[in-house]
Structure 1
Amino acid sequence: MFRRTFWFTAGAAAGVWATTKVNRKLRQLTPESLAAQAANKAIDAGHKLKDFALDVRAGMVQREAELGERLGLEAPVDPELPAQRRFAAIDRPEHTYNKHTYNSYNRNEDH
């Protein structure tokens, strides 16, 4: 008698456990749940990408400082020398070509 009760209880517990597990899995596979999981993964990827970009930027600043130090670009300015000048880009006139400004000679008009 105890043997049957034990196996009946074990079977019922296994059935409840399996049903719970299957229902959980089915809820994970609904479109809303899949969309939420994808959004969470995209947000995590965005955070990782931002962290990577910040690390790259910090490395760039550090390397530029090292190079400036080695090349003497960060050295104090000598008062006898003129200040370093930066050249502005040469302004080129915009291309004024359009059909209204050029000579619209049509050789077929003369004939």
Structure 2
Amino acid sequence: MFRRTFWFTAGAAAGVWATTKVHTKLRQLTPESLAAQAANKAVDAGHRLKDFALDVRAGMAQRESELGEVLGLDAPVDPQLPAGRRLAVEARAQHRSGDYRSDEHRYDQDHDHSDRFNSRTPHNRNEDH
């Protein structure tokens, strides 16, 4: 009698466990759940891609500074250089320090570019043709 009760209870527990597993798996396979899983994976991939891009940018900056040191680009300008070369080296140094403003930068500051359809783009590119 005890043996039958044990096996009946074990069978009922196994049935409840299996039913729970099947319902969980069915809920995971609904379209909403699959869409949510895909969105989560896309967000994770985006974070990994962003981290990779930041690592590449940091490596590029480090390598650029190493090359600048090796090539002497960060060294003070030699007064013995010809005038054209001295001006080029000084302009590069000013550009790196942020003091240099080209005409393009001045144009960006003087003109409002919030209107995408200014005189240089005579038509609305979003309208249907």
TM-score (norm 2): 0.63
CA drift of 1:80 comes to 6.5
- In the alignment, residue 66 of structure 1 is paired with which amino acid? E
Distance 2:14 2:48 in 1: 41
Partner of 2:29: 29
CA drift of 1:78 comes to 4.0
Give unpaired runs (5+ residues) of structure 2: 93-101, 103-129
Distance 2:19 2:79 in 1: 84
CA drift of 1:46 comes to 0.2
Distance 1:35 1:77 in 2: 60
- Normalized per residue, which structure has more helix? 2
CA drift of 1:79 comes to 5.6
Partner of 1:10: 10
Aligned length: 87
1:37-62 per-position Cα deviation (integer Å, ceiling 9, x unaligned): 00000000000000000000000000
Structure of higher CA gyration radius: 1
CA drift of 1:5 comes to 0.2
Give unpaired runs (5+ residues) of structure 1: 89-111
- In the alignment, residue 74 of structure 1 is paired with which amino acid? D
